[in-house]
Amino acid sequence: MYVNALGTVTPIYTVIVTSRVTGQIMSVNYREGQMVHKGDLLLDIDPRPYQAALAQVQGQVGHDQAVLNEARIDYERYKTAYTRNAIPKQQMEDQEQVVHQDEGTVQNDQGQLQNAQVNLVYCHITSPIDGRVGLRLVDPGNIVQGGSTTALVVVTQLQPITVIFSVAEDYLPQIQQQLNRGSRMPVDAFDHSQKKKLASGSLQTLDNQIDPTTARSRYAPFLPTRTARSLRINS
């Protein structure tokens, strides 16, 4: 049995890359339409303000850690003195609370340090997926805002890719029966003339609704190619 349908190529992943930090774009490290891999550098934002902030936090961590160490040393001395009845118990307990306060300060500093390190990493924007980049949307020298929804680059996955197509509801029981059995139903993608085969894949899933206006259900196969207009399901 062969079922013919018109399909629309739909990427599995399309990522709109934005900036998480505010700063000046120093370089754009991709070409329009270039294929990139996950982790490839796309843009650089001026890291100097965040390097300075990191150094400042590192200095604060060192200072507060030294204060904590001093408080712990004094607390050990107070415990020894208390065992010899040289100081009242309240004085030892007060020093114990000072140690806890300093521990909280250091812990807060560690959180700020991690945040500064993350912000520095965000200055180097990398591709989150394998795919193809679109047109350049921003040039070096521009100022970008952290948390903005303005796209810096769009990356679209092409391998693999899906094709969404609709078939009449009359075929639904047969197709659904094959899916429930775990059968692999091949899908062939042809060009508009239906003479040249572009790619082959398999049916992966079907939608959970039938369009009442057309009495058709939607399906999605995986295909290894980017362009396909007409599909044929072999079962």
Do 152 and 116 share a domain, yes or no? Answer: no
In this structure, what CATH number is given to the domain that contains residue 72? 1.10.287
Q: Which residues, other chains included, contact 118 with Cβ-Cβ below 8 Å and sequence gap of 6+?
A: none
Would you say residue 10 has pLDDT above 80?
A: yes
Do 137 and 23 share a domain, yes or no? Answer: yes
Pairing relation of β-strands 216-223 and 197-211?
antiparallel
H/E element, 57: helix 48-83
Would you say residue 175 has pLDDT above 70?
A: yes
User: Tens digits of per-residue pLDDT, 142-152?
Assistant: 999 998 889 99
Range(s) of the domain holding residue 223 = 2-12+157-234
Pairing relation of β-strands 143-144 and 153-156?
unpaired
Query: Under DSSP, is residue 214 helix (H, G, I), strand (E, B) or coil?
Result: coil
Token duo for residue 49? 């303000």
Do 161 and 211 share a domain, yes or no? Answer: yes
In degrees and rounded to multiples of 5, residue 212 shows phi and psi of: -70, -20
Do 55 and 76 share a domain, yes or no? Answer: yes
Do 172 and 191 share a domain, yes or no? Answer: yes
In this structure, what CATH number is given to the domain that contains residue 38? 2.40.50.100
Of the chain, the percentage scoring pLDDT greater than 90 comes to 59
Do 230 and 162 share a domain, yes or no? Answer: yes
Task: Please state, in angstroms and rounded to a whole number, the distance separating the CA atoms of residues 153 and 27.
Answer: 13
Cis peptide before 160 (omega within 30 of 0): yes
Do 61 and 31 share a domain, yes or no? Answer: no
User: Tens digits of per-residue pLDDT, 196-207?
Assistant: 998 888 888 887
Q: What is the pLDDT of residue 234?
A: 43
Task: Please state, in angstroms and rounded to a whole number, the distance separating the CA atoms of residues 15 and 159.
Answer: 14
* DSSP for residue 212: T
Do 144 and 181 share a domain, yes or no? Answer: no
Token duo for residue 62? 């060192």
Q: What total number of domains does the chain contain?
A: 3
Do 92 and 199 share a domain, yes or no? Answer: no
Would you say residue 124 has pLDDT above 70?
A: yes
Domain end, chosen from 132, 156, 180, is at 156
Would you say residue 229 has pLDDT above 60?
A: no
User: Tens digits of per-residue pLDDT, 97-108?
Assistant: 999 999 999 999
- What value, to the nearest 5°, has the Cα angle with vertex 27 and ends 26 and 30? 160
Where does residue 212 rank: exposed (0-12), middle (13-18), buried (19+ CB within 10 A)? exposed
Q: Where are the alpha helices (DSSP H) in the chain?
A: 48-83, 89-122, 172-180
User: Tens digits of per-residue pLDDT, 59-117?
Assistant: 999 999 999 999 999 999 999 999 999 999 999 999 999 999 999 999 999 999 999 99
Task: Please state, in angstroms and rounded to a whole number, the distance separating the CA atoms of residues 104 and 83.
Answer: 27
Do 179 and 204 share a domain, yes or no? Answer: yes
Do 33 and 57 share a domain, yes or no? Answer: no
Domain end, chosen from 67, 99, 122, is at 122
Do 41 and 134 share a domain, yes or no? Answer: yes
Tell me what the mean pLDDT of segment 35-60 comes to.
Answer: 96
In this structure, what CATH number is given to the domain that contains residue 223? 2.40.30.170
Tell me the pLDDT of the chain averaged across its residues.
88
Q: What is the pLDDT of residue 40?
A: 96
Partners of 154 in beta bridges: 16
Alpha carbon 208 to chain centroid, angstroms: 27
Token duo for residue 174? 């047969």
